[in-house]
Chains A and B, each alone.
Chain A
């Protein structure tokens, strides 16, 4: 890792995209630099005081010239913007079927859990050639999960889920940096990504303390913490059934309709009074302080896993 380089390792599909865009930007920067520095140097020499250059009929402006050197940058700007926006849209939206990893940031470490249940601290093992989507939140201040070799970065914000994804294209170990200033040991909040052959990754997942999968943990919490007491068919309380709910529209008592995404489920667990499903009373107790960030993520993973279950018809 000690050899001198101008660009970091290109270890993901996004890395290639972004580097090409950056190279194009550098080319355009050089074009403008030369088109400013060359005339300045030339004029500075030619029209230095005492030189015999012809200075007759100096011009003090020309709208034609002004319009052309306004238009050219505008056109180039729109082109660069579009390229950047398309690539951004691609890096910001995880593809379906990506492997899922849940990440909780805290001062000053990363806690990670793979969908299969394996946990890690400050390390992330991923298979080569497969898209990996990170769902992230923070239990204190804002952090940012940055992997330079993958050219991806996303702030990790308390009270909110953010996501980041990549597809590794090169075996090896790469830096993880926290890039959003988060307090005293900010520069110690670092780790590494290990990109492995898919077979080795599968083996790794099942070695050591493999643990139960996130969905199983979530289901256990759903039963143990009393969720199933109300959110069930034969419950004596009138609470919505959660099968098939994930990512579906939910009509609210105030007339609005929201999508039952991760953020909605999280808010419903912690701040149940914030958005009340139409036709139900505000009777759910808040779980603030009773569930860790990891447990909330596990619960949501469980609710996601029953998204396709057809709920049985009411009795």
Chain B
């Protein structure tokens, strides 16, 4: 495959095109993986780890959806149901969504995208994975010994005084996972600051890098607050020190302020990397430079900053001051604006493109559709009076699943398909990829759209049993979930199949301009044969040239 006519980069190569040895073949055996400091291998370690947690959390979700087929709580007991939604929430948030794109795709491609040999602190990077595994072990210990029934939000005084489940071990797991996040964040920030290739100025950075830079800032600044919150909760639960329980002289609302001060920015930790992936995909598969590069890049930073001052919108009915509620509501509307800017710019990028619909692009278009719905319904929950009605109902569940699953998971899948040939050197089967993307999109909407209706009708979240008039929509949602399940199982199968049987990808199967594509697939141990030199903006795609190329080949 020839390089594109407007190559972004010049690569100083040693003699011979690509070395035969790559990061997968240099070093064999379990030890070479467990002691690796190669960012690419660490990315793959993370991929396997989060896959385990995703599967456990997905099984919990499946059991809940089966339970909710009938109004009566007949499949599992209330106690089990409460543990199921807690484990689903905790594992999906802290052990899948937050690490997903940063630690898998970020670890793999950040150094390559900026022309570096590795991240700034490779050993710290490995340490962060070990911390993550230790955190996961604590969470699994808690799960195996009976689980937790507090909900992923750990609201006090339920979690500190009334819950009879393994709160401390689960909180300890999240606490440790937080340190893994912080270390990864620091590593990315330093890497992006200090290790860019010659000529790679800030405004020549791919938008994926901007997004992960913003994400890393939030990881470093917000996660310590989570650690403090969980530590205070544990102190009260273990030793009865009055912090949150009014019986001990504490304030339960204080917990919510602390928790959401972390957990709202955490929403942006989850979605910003997804937005970064989409900018890569939309440009590559429409053969267009991104429309409004600086606006898209800076909107990531705006989201990161504004995301810190909207936490109170989770507390409009908590008894916080109504005037505080008004300020948080206004700020929440404003944080929607930079997200809107991104969506508009992606749309404008398609204009005059030369668009193909390979699997990653299908996921990207799916992302835009679902994220837009998720974001717009966010306006409903930001509107004070409407939130009073829909707060803590399925409307909120539907809203954040449109962002987290419809947005983030679609972006993760899109990114994984896009970079899969780079990671493994092999292509996944395109037909099955497209099929899975479409099944996921349809299954997702069938699962979660009915939940908007359920929520406005008033069905509260975390209900094991519900009044019979809600059954029809619940059955629809559960049926959709089974389709969504197929959409997720298919890639699992064909990705594994492609490891041995997939077509050999070659260095740049998508004819993409990113630096990571200007080296072998799989990449050599140190990514590049020599130091790349960057001479232009990213995304130097040319739709007109692509059309001519296409005509010539036709």
Give the B-binding residues of A (Cβ under 8 A): 1-2, 4-8, 14, 17-18, 21-22, 25, 28-29, 32-33, 36-37, 39-40, 43-44, 47-50, 53-56, 58-62, 65-66, 69-70, 73-74, 77-78, 80-81, 83-85, 87-93, 107, 140-142, 144, 146, 148-149, 151-155, 157-160, 162, 175, 177-188, 190, 271
Contact = CB atoms under 8 A, between A and B. Distances in A.
B376 A188 contact: no
Contacts of B368: 36, 40
Contacts of A157: 246, 252-253, 318-319
Contact of B295 (A56, A61, A144): A61
Interface string B367-399: 011001100110110111111110111000000
A181 B151 contact: yes
Classify the interface of chain A: helix, strand, loop or mixed. Answer: mixed
6 contacts: A22-B386, A33-B372, A56-B544, A78-B333, A187-B78, A187-B460
A85 B355 contact: no
B162 to A, nearest CB: 5
Contacts of A180: 155, 392
B122 interface: no
Nearest to A31: B376
Nearest to B85: A181
Interface residues of B, number: 100
Classify the interface of chain B: helix, strand, loop or mixed. Answer: helix
Given A91-B388, A141-B157, 19 more contacts: A21-B385, A32-B340, A44-B355, A49-B550, A58-B289, A61-B294, A62-B292, A84-B386, A87-B385, A88-B385, A89-B322, A91-B385, A92-B322, A144-B317, A155-B319, A157-B246, A178-B460, A180-B392, A186-B82
Contact of A181 (B249, B351, B462): B462
A61 B294 CA distance: 9
Contacts of B286: 47
Please give me the 6 A-B residue pairs with the lowest Cβ-Cβ distance, nearest first: A148-B458, A159-B246, A88-B384, A87-B385, A84-B383, A77-B333
Given A85-B326, A141-B158, A148-B389, A80 B372 contact: no
Given A6-B453, A141-B158, A183-B158, A177 B460 contact: yes
Nearest to A50: B550
Given A78-B333, A141-B162, A153 B317 contact: yes
B32 interface: no
A187 B550 contact: no
Nearest to A84: B383
B386 A60 contact: no
B350 A40 contact: yes
A179 B340 CA distance: 31
Given A61-B295, A70-B341, A146 B460 contact: yes
Interface string B96-111: 0000000000000000
A167 to B, nearest CB: 15
Contacts of A178: 460
B347 interface: yes
A162 B319 contact: yes
B35 interface: no
B383 A21 contact: yes
Nearest to A174: B458
A18 B388 contact: yes
Interface stretch (B139-147, B263-271, B467-475, B478-486): B467-475
B429 interface: no
A178 B462 CA distance: 10
B82 A184 contact: yes
B149 A187 contact: no
B59 interface: no
Contact of A142 (B158, B463, B543): B158
B40 interface: no
Interface in B330-350: 330, 333-334, 336-337, 340-341, 343-345, 347-348, 350
A77 B352 contact: no
Contacts of A90: 385
A184 B348 contact: no
B543 A55 contact: yes
A213 to B, nearest CB: 27
Contacts of B464: 186-187
Given A142-B155, A159-B252, A2 B78 contact: no
Interface in B285-339: 286-295, 316-319, 322, 325-326, 329-330, 333-334, 336-337
Contacts of B344: 36, 69
B354 interface: yes
Contacts of A73: 336-337, 340
A74 B341 CA distance: 11
B488 interface: no
A18 B385 contact: yes
Contacts of B392: 144, 146, 153, 179-180
B162 A188 contact: no
Nearest to A37: B369
Interface in B78-134: 78-79, 82
B240 to A, nearest CB: 15
B547 interface: yes
Contacts of A32: 340, 372, 376
A85 B383 CA distance: 7
